[in-house]
Amino acid sequence: MLIEERQSRLADLLARQGMSDLDSLSELLNVSQSTIRRDVEGLVQKGLVRRTHGGVIWVGDRTNTTVRPYAFDQRLSDHVESKRKIAKAAAGLVEPGQTILIDGGTTAYYLAEALVGASLQLVTNSLPIAGLFLNDDKVELILTGGLLYPRYGVLLGPNAESMLAEIHAKTLFLSVGGIHQSQLYNQNLLLVQAERRMMEQAQQVVVLADSGKFGQQALVRLCELKEIDVVVSDSGLKEADRDEVRKAGCELVLAE
């Protein structure tokens, strides 16, 4: 992770939480205590935070900082290296000027980061993803309406599904909670309903799943693996899981 990006993410965390201890920040950003201390000192010099004994307090303007839900940020720091590699590989599937759909998963967020500055139409139900493009004049951003699911910052429910039914996209990029016995799963019923609607409106469905998602189940079944066109995963994917993807008729892209 680049220094500027890490410090920006640190500022986001502190602006939302108000204060934190160094141990928690180190764990959330998956960096050493010494790195966190240097990053915090950088924010102190900018007048954004104040150090306390063992911790730090945000004193900057919260209105000018991108805010992401706490649960989303926790998941964003899991398997970061694999997710970034997958995102980079998936970004190579996007051509200039395309209309794409991106759902609200964390791997999908890293894909969106990789697409900042590209020329495209982007439809998403994710507030964190939408926030990446607020000042990007090359992207035509379309945000679905709907009921806000605050844990992950996504818009769900009948209004979101009605809006999705009116659009058409070249490619849909999905993150999933697990892939088990050729079935895909996610954690929330309303999220799965929105994703099923997205699948109906896209010519091509691409699933972004790090190798740790294979063999895992989540609360709600999304679809069968054979309904997916492309699976993008990392090079740590087991041979048996690779065979499962290919037998389902999916193209498999492994991010090196």
What confidence score (pLDDT) does residue 69 get?
67
Residue 241, pLDDT score: 98
Find the domain containing 16 and state its range: 3-67
Q: Specify whether 63 is located in the same domain as 88.
A: no
Domain count, the chain: 2
Which stretches of the chain score pLDDT less than 70? 1-2, 16-17, 53-54, 61-70, 73-74
| Bridge partner residues of 51 (DSSP) | 56
Domain final position from 22, 51, 67:
67
Q: How high is the pLDDT of residue 224?
A: 98
pTM of the predicted structure, to 2 decimals: 0.75
pLDDT given at position 68: 63
Task: Answer whether 219's CB lies under 8 Å from 187's CB.
Answer: yes
Give residue 6's pLDDT.
80
Q: Are residues 81 and 207 in the same domain?
A: yes
Q: Which residue from 213, 228, 189, 247 is spatially nearest to 78, judged by alpha carbons?
A: 213
How far apart CA 13 and CA 16 sit, in angstroms, is 5
E runs forming strands in 1-138: 19-21, 49-52, 55-58, 99-102, 120-124
Question: Domain check: are 83 and 172 in the same one?
Answer: yes
- Domain C-terminal end among 67, 99, 120: 67
Among 46, 67, 88, the domain-final residue is: 67
